[in-house]
Structure 1
Amino acid sequence: MNIEAVDLFCGIGGLTAGLIKSGISVKAGYDIESDCRHGYEHNNNATFVHKDVADVTAQEINDWYSKGVVRLLAGCAPCQPFSTYNQGKDTTLDKKWPLLYHFMRLIEEVKPELVTMENVPDVTKHKVYHDFVAKLEELGYTVSASRVDCVKYGIPQTRKRHVLLASLISSDIALISPTHDEAVTVRDVIEDLPRLSSGEQNKEDQLHICSKLNDLNMRRIKASKPGGTWKDWPEGLIAKCHSKESGKSYGGVYGRMEWDKPAPTMTTQCFGFGNGRFGHPSQHRAISLREAAIFQTFPEDYQFYKGVLMIKSVGKMIGNAVPVRLGEVVGLSLLRGS
């Protein structure tokens, strides 16, 4: 089965790389983040189109596909509006909310044989998602959607995602069965990397670089134990906001990872010790960009930037990405069901 894909909201290309690894040809990716162009095109031999999906037409999508192929339209719309971090906030003016509707519009106009969408599990709590599924069914697609525990597919992080597959050519469409009975742990994938001090960059691997901790955060990480929280610290190290009643529930920040468990979910701020459980299990530092990329299952030779490395920019690319392995699982599932 010859499947060709166009990847909307492609970012740095995690989903694209995974689809290619599974045997699907990806022709192009669309994204509004121009910084992703080099990494996307260099690693995937696909064209990066710097464009808002709201301005994309069905004609230009169809122009990417060869004649006679099975067409796949993939769209992993930015998940921030559906994240638990945003629940209860007023998102009516958030420009990201209409993105699934634009994806839905393109599906209706292009009518690709295959569709896939990946997002956070809480996307199912919102009207836009149910409108999306209803439109697919109205158009005649068989839809399969499920909450995915990435650990069960060999991804070394506790990432939960909602993955939707839809087909016009098969009624037997579903994600492949889990491939791993045992979790891949932090120890399994980063224990052998060269040691780093706070703010250091490895001379042999420029992506193996970590943010520099200030004096206060250095004292905090030294007082932190793997799997613990800031509640373990001496009182003098606890931030004022956490001392308040409203801050006592935020136990997931300023934490160290545990060697023999998967990493936490990578985010756009995963390079910062204070932004989650992103402290190295034993070294007094936050995880490096290389370690974050490994947790996102990017191959060692994947290039994220050209020129000067900007930690914040590359960290955002890595955190926003679909894990490459999850993209591969999606691709294998589509190939099996086609």
Structure 2
Amino acid sequence: MSHLDQQDKVAAPAVDLPEDAVTACDLFAGAGGFSLGAHFAQVQVAAAVEFNRHAAASYRANLIDTGLLKASLFEKDIAKFSPFDLLAESSLKDRGCDILLGGPPCQGFSAHRINGAGINDPRNALLLRYFEYVRALRPLFFLVENVPGLLWPRHASFVDAFYSLADSAEYSVLKPVILNAKDFGVPQNRRRVFLLGYDRRRLSNAPSWPPTATHGEPGNTEGLPEWLTASVAFAPPLEGDLNNIHMRHGAELIKTFEKTPPNGGSRRDSGRVLPCHKAHIGHHDVYGRINPAHPAPTMTTACVNPSKGRFVHPTEHHGITLRQAARLQSFPDWFNFEGGIMAGGVQVGNAVPVNLAKEVIAPLRDAVLNHRAAQRLREIADEAA
């Protein structure tokens, strides 16, 4: 049984959680990869903020309308939406927030931005906006996910400001860590940086984090089970799957794909080399086929477009389908993306892979429960004194 099949069995509509459930808020929630991972980690997402209308529609249709989450979804521009309004209009007002999640838009930090591009990208300021929510919601933990380019020297001022704001609010932030999704049950080579902060008013010691790789030695690609390779994406789709769609290609491009060897062949094998390919060596993967024997390449926001990376089907003569891209992000097959293929591709590429989200959140859930248990013991001791 694949991990996707296992998730299908787990992902029945959620029942009412006990009053002491661990709660979370998901900022820049996208279609809901972080939130769905939190659900699988037995954390109740009580509020989420997402401004993109297609992503918000996907979040609502899959996670709220199904009854899976009891979250309040705010389709707001986070730069203008006050965290105090979120508190007032969600269940977090009464229950509080244990874990604040968020992946601020990462294009300003991306490796695709070259020659200093992105240094003054206004989207980078959203990383600091995230911390205004930390101040207001006062979670026990906050967790930021972003691309490794966040740690490049040219973005140091933003990271330094983030750490400074955390310290002024009496939060400690652990050293950034870079995790690869393929080491945590995701069939994809995807490196992302995580920043974990904790409230030092309430915790005297840092939690045990990051989590240990769950699937072999980090970086190992040999001897992987089939469901940890890209092959998992290419099983037959469910009947009537609305996301079983791929881009339409012209006759010339289809001929190129026909000349490209199966299972990992590149555009160079097809003999098709455009002027832009000669000018920029970084384009060597475009129009390449995915090798199903290995973890897939990173799913970007253009993951359904073969002109943007190695996103051609291993054997068929077209780009991968939206469903196949979603599987490579460990989304279960019942999860449908709204807005069509291009909007769906953006949502898939922006998402935190579901399995990775589950694994990074689970130890924080345990730390919250341990903190509560320690508090209760102290209260009992005080009453007995």
TM-score normalised to structure 2 length: 0.78
State the shift of 1:143 in Å: 2.4
Q: Secondary structure at the match of 2:213?
A: coil
Q: Output one character per residue of 1:165-186: Cα deviation in whole Å (capped at 9) or x when no partner.
A: 2222442321221110146101
State the shift of 1:337 in Å: 2.4
Task: Tell me whether 1:223 sits opposite 2:259 in the alignment.
Answer: yes
Structure 1 residue ranges (4+ consecutive) displaced by more than 4 angstroms after TM superposition: none
What one-letter code is carried by the residue in structure 1 that aligns with 2:186? I
- Matched-pair contact (CA < 8 Å) for 1:6–1:61: no
- Tell me the distance in 2 between the aligned counterparts of 1:90 and 1:277: 24
Gaps of 5+ in 2: 1-19, 65-70, 217-223, 369-385
Q: Output one character per residue of 1:148-202: Cα deviation in whole Å (capped at 9) or x when no partner.
A: 0111101011000001222224423212211101461012x134325xxxxxxx8
The 5-angstrom pairing of residues 243-262 of structure 1 reads 243=278, 246-262=279-295
Q: Secondary structure at the match of 1:148?
A: strand
Task: Tell me whether 1:59 sits opposite 2:62 in the alignment.
Answer: no
State the shift of 1:66 in Å: 4.9
Task: Tell me whether 1:241 sits opposite 2:271 in the alignment.
Answer: no
Q: Secondary structure at the match of 2:23?
A: strand
What one-letter code is carried by the residue in structure 1 that aligns with 2:345? G
Task: Tell me whether 1:185 sits opposite 2:229 in the alignment.
Answer: yes
- Matched-pair contact (CA < 8 Å) for 2:234–2:324: no
Q: Which moved further from structure 2: 224-233 or 158-167?
A: 224-233
State the shift of 1:20 in Å: 1.4
Q: Specify the alignment match of 1:320 in structure 2.
A: 350
Gaps of 5+ in 1: 195-201
Report sequence identity in percent.
28
State the shift of 1:263 in Å: 0.7
Q: Specify the alignment match of 2:4 in structure 1.
A: none
Q: Specify the alignment match of 1:277 in structure 2.
A: 310
State the shift of 1:298 in Å: 0.9
State the shift of 1:68 in Å: 4.8
What one-letter code is carried by the residue in structure 2 that aligns with 1:241? C
- Tell me the distance in 1 between the aligned counterparts of 2:281 and 2:212: 39
Q: Output one character per residue of 1:184-241: Cα deviation in whole Å (capped at 9) or x when no partner.
A: 1012x134325xxxxxxx863221111112112112212223334322232xx32122
What one-letter code is carried by the residue in structure 2 that aligns with 1:186? A
- Matched-pair contact (CA < 8 Å) for 2:25–2:101: yes
- What RMSD over aligned residues (CA atoms) do the two structures have, in Å? 2.0
User: Residues 88 and 56 of structure 1: is their aligned pair in 2 closer, same or farther, counting only changes over 3 Å?
Assistant: same
Task: Tell me whether 1:2 sits opposite 2:21 in the alignment.
Answer: yes
What one-letter code is carried by the residue in structure 2 that aligns with 1:39? S
325, 328, 350: which one aligns with 1:292: 325
- Matched-pair contact (CA < 8 Å) for 1:19–1:328: yes
- Matched-pair contact (CA < 8 Å) for 1:227–1:255: yes
Q: Secondary structure at the match of 2:122?
A: coil
TM-score normalised to structure 1 length: 0.89
- Matched-pair contact (CA < 8 Å) for 2:37–2:358: yes
Q: Secondary structure at the match of 1:96?
A: helix
Q: Which has the larger radius of gyration?
A: 2
User: Residues 313 and 23 of structure 1: is their aligned pair in 2 closer, same or farther, counting only changes over 3 Å?
Assistant: same
- Tell me the distance in 2 between the aligned counterparts of 1:291 and 1:118: 23
What one-letter code is carried by the residue in structure 2 that aligns with 1:74? L
Q: Specify the alignment match of 1:154 in structure 2.
A: 185
State the shift of 1:283 in Å: 1.3
- Tell me the distance in 1 between the aligned counterparts of 2:55 and 2:347: 7
Q: Give the paired residue count.
A: 323
